Amino acid sequence: MIEYLDPRAKPGMPVEPFDLSADLDGAVNIGLLANGFPDSVAFLQHVEEALTERLPEARFHHYNKGDASSVVSDQLLETIVGECRAVVAAYGH
C-alpha cells in the first residue's frame, strides 16, 4: 500500500521561528556541501553565484560527501567547521 504524506502544516499550527544565523559581514568563509545526488554540485555553483552578488567579499569552500545515502564523516565535518562560518547543504536530482 502506498501512503502519500502532505508536507504542509495543518491550519492553525503555531509558527516556529528559525533562530539560527551567522554574521556574514566582510570576508567570511561559506561552505557549499553537496550530498552526492546528481546535479548537487551544479546546483551549488548557482547558489554560489547568487550569494556572490549579495556577499561580494565572501569566499566559498566546496565539499562533496559523494554518496547521498551516507552521513557526513566526522573528518569532513571537522574540516567544514574549522574552515567555514556558515554552510549551505544541498542535493540535486
Domain carrying residue 86: 29-90
Q: Is the pLDDT of residue 93 over 80?
A: no
* Sheet with 29-34: strands ordered across: 59-64, 29-34, 86-90
In a domain, 59, yes or no: yes
List, for residues 40-73, the tens digit of each pLDDT value. Answer: 899 999 999 999 999 999 999 999 998 888 888 9
In a domain, 58, yes or no: yes
C-alpha distance from residue 9 to each of 15, 52, 72 (Å):
10, 33, 29
* Domains: count for the chain: 1
Q: Is the pLDDT of residue 92 over 60?
A: no
Alpha helices, DSSP H only, in 1-93? 40-54, 74-83
pTM: 0.77
